[in-house]
Amino acid sequence: MAAPARNLVIDARPRGPRGLIAAEVVLGRPVLSRLVEQAREIVGPGSVIAVLAARGRSADVAPLLDDAGSVRVEFVEDMPADGAVLRTDRLYDGRRLRRALSRGRDPESAAFWRLDRPESLAGAEQELNRRLNYQPLGRYWAFPLAERLAASLQHSRVGPNALTLGAGALMLSGVAAVACGGLGWTGRAATALAFAAALVLDTADGRLARLQGACTAFGRWLDQVLDELADVALHAAIAWASFVATGSPTWLVLGMLFASGKYMFLIQSLTGEDLEKSTLADAAPPRSARSGRLASVAGPVRRLVAALGHADLRWHLWIVLAAVGRLDAALVVYAAYFSLRAFAGIARKGAAHA
């Protein structure tokens, strides 16, 4: 009986600033274990995955693997003649990796993050978390456009920070139009298009940074700062325009409530990380059947609440409401949303620490 084909080779030899990259832990798992799981989903049962280790180092690499299931993992010390090669100093997009391999393309085209630099290792968990919850709506139109734009700019002198600044400029131009109020259908359409174009640029900057190998802490900081600036400025503009149109100070109160609620939400989220970690480290009480039923209900509710605040969903809501001239609805909803989430987070952390 012929041996099963060796479909993929995983190169576990690359080293980074802290040693063997295959051993780096990202989101609670070694990089090699995560990559073998991706490979297993692609090659299917009965296949063989070759893990290339430095001479005499197979015993050091083997403990990094979880159960490979129906796929056999072989450790080799020489590069096999057949099989596509995945590198442990890369993070791969599973969907793009499957497509690239099915079309006989280089797996490198599916890589979205490099792990061979200190700053890349530091940002790997954040990037994986972001992609796990990335663009539930934008993936269908903004992400494909952003990928094409980034690919066209890969070898140009345009850097990712230029796209970040462009996205910020488009958002702030839309904000200025909203603040002026009284927009006709042409102005509303232009504002919605500005928000949509900003979403494409905001998506493309990260993709371009990875293609150019220009991922930096400053770029991530600039992206986050401009996103938050546009968010607060937009809701402030909505509050002002609504106040001018109606003369009711309630809109100014809602604007202040949104700004303070968003600020408190961010503060309690960021400064409470260590507190939550220390709480989770404590022994958990035994779970009763009732608590299990409550958890089965609470889980979907938590996911729904989190989805309402997802940046991608909120961005699409801005586009739609800008087009129909009802951005005031976004201010009402999110002034309440972020204030309630901020106080809920504070109460939860306080109760857990008490």
For residues 308 and 352, which has the higher predicted lDDT (pLDDT)? 308
Pair of tokens at residue 46:
């009965």
Can you tell me the distance from the alpha carbon of 204 to that of 160, in angstroms, rounded to the nearest whole number? 8
pLDDT in the model for residue 281: 42
For residues 27 and 22, which has the higher predicted lDDT (pLDDT)? 22
Confidence of residue 352 (pLDDT cuts 50, 70, 90): low
Report pLDDT digits (tens) over 66-75: 665 667 888 8
Burial 138-158 (b: 16+ CB within 10 A, else e): beeebbebbbebbeebeeeeb
Q: Span 292-299, mean pLDDT?
A: 53
Q: Return the percentage of the chain with pLDDT > 70, whole number.
A: 85
C-alpha distance across the termini of the chain, in Å: 64
Q: Span 45-58, mean pLDDT?
A: 85
Confidence of residue 353 (pLDDT cuts 50, 70, 90): low
Q: Span 271-298, mean pLDDT?
A: 50
CA distances from 311 to 133, 177, 228 (A): 10, 21, 10
Given the candidates 3.55.10.10, 1.20.120.1760, 3.40.50.1100, 3.30.70.1350, the CATH classification of the domain at 136-279+303-353 is: 1.20.120.1760
pTM comes to 0.67
Least confident of 76-90, 156-170, 264-278, 334-348: 264-278
pLDDT in the model for residue 58: 82
Just give the CATH number of 6-127.
3.90.550.10
For residues 194 and 354, which has the higher predicted lDDT (pLDDT)? 194
List the domain boundaries for the chain: 6-127, 136-279+303-353
For residues 282 and 312, which has the higher predicted lDDT (pLDDT)? 312
Report pLDDT digits (tens) over 81-123: 777 899 999 999 888 888 888 888 888 888 888 887 777 777 7
Place of tokens 């620490």: 353
Q: How many residues does the chain have?
A: 354
pLDDT in the model for residue 66: 67
- Average model confidence (pLDDT) for the chain? 84
Beta-carbon contacts of residue 309 (< 8 Å; ≥ 6 apart) = 334, 337, 338, 341
Q: Span 314-338, mean pLDDT?
A: 96
Q: By the 8 A CB rule, do 21 and 89 touch?
A: yes
Least confident of 36-45, 124-133, 274-283, 286-295: 274-283
pLDDT in the model for residue 277: 44
Confidence of residue 284 (pLDDT cuts 50, 70, 90): very low
Report pLDDT digits (tens) over 23-34: 988 878 889 988
pLDDT in the model for residue 279: 45
Q: Indicate whether 295 pLDDT > 50.
A: no
Q: Which residues are 8's β-sheet partners?
A: 49, 84
pLDDT in the model for residue 216: 84
Domains 6-127 and 136-279+303-353 belong to one CATH topology: no
CA distances from 278 to 265, 268, 272, 273, 347 (A): 20, 15, 10, 9, 16
